[in-house]
Amino acid sequence: MHLSFGLLIEATWLLWALYWAWGARGVKAAAREDDWTRLLAYRIPVMLGFALLIALGQGVGHPWLYRHVPSAAAWAPPLGWLLVLPGLGFACWARRTLGRNWSGAVQLKQDHELIMAGPYRWVRHPIYTGILLAMLGTILAAGSWLGLLALVLVGGGFWYKLRHEERWMREQFGTAYVDYMRRVKALVPGVL
């Protein structure tokens, strides 16, 4: 990965992580929480995927994982960074829109509200959409096969988690959530 774009991408992810940690303050108390086995079922693949993404920048692991994807070229690092920016920006916008209803785990909050404004107009899980787009940009910039494995792990963890979240949302909001699911796709507007 071109050094300056590699540093830009790392700095962008770091700023996002700081914002994410700062934003966790002041959320509503949980009325219903996930049990630890379900929590691990989606957290482990996501954590492994992010560990691989970090390893991608550090050169850790088997050399074959760092072979470049044949299409990786000089244009890939700047384009990758141009995907990381809107991806993480979209995730931050979604987090801000959720406000005090946000949680890193599957939870129903006290006085939980169904949010369908902001980025939730286009996708039901815009935080996942944004993070996956940013991961795709990071992987494109690095041009390594290892990144594809990271994307599969995180994407699979998010897919499992969103299906679980949606069961709880249907229980909580009934037909309002079912109608929302009919109108708005889960991750990619008009597609998925």
Residue 190 lies in a domain: no
Flag whether 23 is in a domain. Answer: no
104 within 8 A of 32, measured Cβ to Cβ? no
Residues above pLDDT 90, as percent of the chain? 67
Q: Is residue 127 part of a domain?
A: yes
Residue 31 DSSP SS3: strand
Q: How many domains does the chain have?
A: 1
CA distances 181 to 107, 118, 120, 124, 188, Å, are 19, 16, 11, 8, 13
Q: Which residues pair with 32 in a beta bridge?
A: 108
pLDDT at 78: 87
Domain assignment present for 161: yes
For tokens 């404004």, the residue is 117
pLDDT in tens, 59-70: 555 555 555 555
**What is the model's pLDDT at position 190?**
85
- The DSSP 8-state label assigned to residue 45 in this structure reads H
The pLDDT > 70 percentage for the chain reads: 90
Q: How far is CA 72 from CA 47, 99, 104, 175, in A?
A: 26, 38, 33, 46
- Domain of residue 37: give its range: 32-102+113-183
Residue 50 lies in a domain: yes
Q: Does residue 13 lie within any of the structural domains?
A: no
pLDDT, one tens digit per residue, over 151-183 is: 999 999 999 999 999 999 999 999 999 999 999
Tell me, yes or no, whether 188 lies in a domain: no
Overall average pLDDT of the 1-6 stretch: 64
How high is the pLDDT of residue 1?
A: 47
User: What pLDDT does 142 receive?
Assistant: 82
- What is the pTM for the complete model shown? 0.89
Q: pLDDT: is 39 or 4 the higher one?
A: 39
Q: Which of 109, 125, 96, 105 is CA-nearest to residue 46? A: 105
Q: Is residue 89 part of a domain?
A: yes
Could you report the per-residue pLDDT of 36-62, keeping only the tens digit for each?
888 899 999 999 999 988 877 655 555
Q: What is the pLDDT of residues 115-132, one digit of tens each?
A: 999 999 999 999 999 999
Does 3 have pLDDT greater than 70? no
What's phi and psi for 174, nearest 5 deg? Answer: 55, -130
